[in-house]
Amino acid sequence: MKTVPFAFDLNEPDFIPSEYDNHIQRRLSAMRGQYLDKEAYEARLAQGDDLLYEVYELRRPTVPGELLHGISIVHPGKVGDEYHMTKGHFHEVLETGEIYHCLKGKGFMVMETPEGEWAVEPLYPGRVLCVLPRWAHRSVNASLAEDLVTFFVYPGDAGHDYGTIEAQGFRKLVVEKNGQPEIVDNPRWSPPEAA
Ligand code: PAN
Ligand code: ZN
């Protein structure tokens, strides 16, 4: 980790940072239980454990005041009707937000609060998205041809809570219908008081 101000390049066409501390690769097997169509998931996994998305992190100390940042790349594809997506999470320190800047591709950020409020925002090159504190977030690549590439930055002490989302998924799913992305209800989801 650097102790003096630093800069790096996001080289086109892939936007892989010229420097990074950590490279996370999430494969299909890491997404068990996240896609609604379990049969389609198992059938695809039987064909191979494909790489679905990658994160290049510039690490910083996990303390307030630091800014963690990096690049998230969701590769194109579907499991059943659902587009490739990140696991999604709440921040462990719920009152921390995040900024995303879309650099390439076409997709959506699916968001929700612990109280069940939801929002889905389109992502396209040049678009900047502010995920407010308390909002869980998942990026979805709605192109079947191109990577979805975003730059993100969030507080050093935010941490990640994946378990809450793993339990029943997000309230909304992004699926392909007649060749177009559509936002639909997740039948596995139930309101917080009934959960
Ligand atoms: C991002 C995400 C990244 C991968 O850095 O961590 O896009 O998504 P998952 O962490 O949900 O697998 C972020 O939101 N950090 O807080
Ligand atoms: Zn986050």
Is pLDDT of 193 > 90?
no
Q: What is the DSSP letter of 85?
A: B
User: What's phi and psi for 37, nearest 5 deg?
Assistant: -85, 95
| Ligand 2 mean position, distance from CA 146 (Å) | 22
- Please list the residues that pair with 123 across neighbouring strands: 107
Average pLDDT for 63-85: 98
pLDDT of amino acid 1:
85
- Residue-wise pLDDT tens digits, 105-142: 999 999 999 999 999 999 999 999 999 999 999 999 99
Do you find a cis peptide bond into 13, omega within 30 degrees of 0? yes
Ligand 1 in reach of 72 Cβ (< 6 A): yes
CB–CB of 15/101 below 8 Å? no
How is the chain split into domains, by residue range? 11-185
Q: Is 88 in the pocket of ligand 1 (CB under 6 A)?
A: yes
Encode pLDDT of 32-60 as tens digits: 999 999 999 999 999 999 999 999 999 99
- Provide the whole-model pTM: 0.97
What class is the 11-185 domain?
A: mainly beta
Decide: 89 in ligand 1 pocket, CB within 6 A. yes
Could you tell me which residue, 2 or 26, shows the higher pLDDT? 26
| Ligand 1 binding pocket includes 55 (Cβ within 6 Å) | yes
Matching residue, tokens 């696991």: 87
Q: Give the residue among 165, 148, 173 at the shortest CA–CA distance from 73.
A: 148
**pLDDT for position 146:** 98
Question: Minimal CA–CA distance to 18: which of 6, 28, 30?
Answer: 6
Which residues make Cβ contacts (< 8 Å) with residue 54, sequence separation at least 6? 23, 24, 25, 26, 72, 73, 75
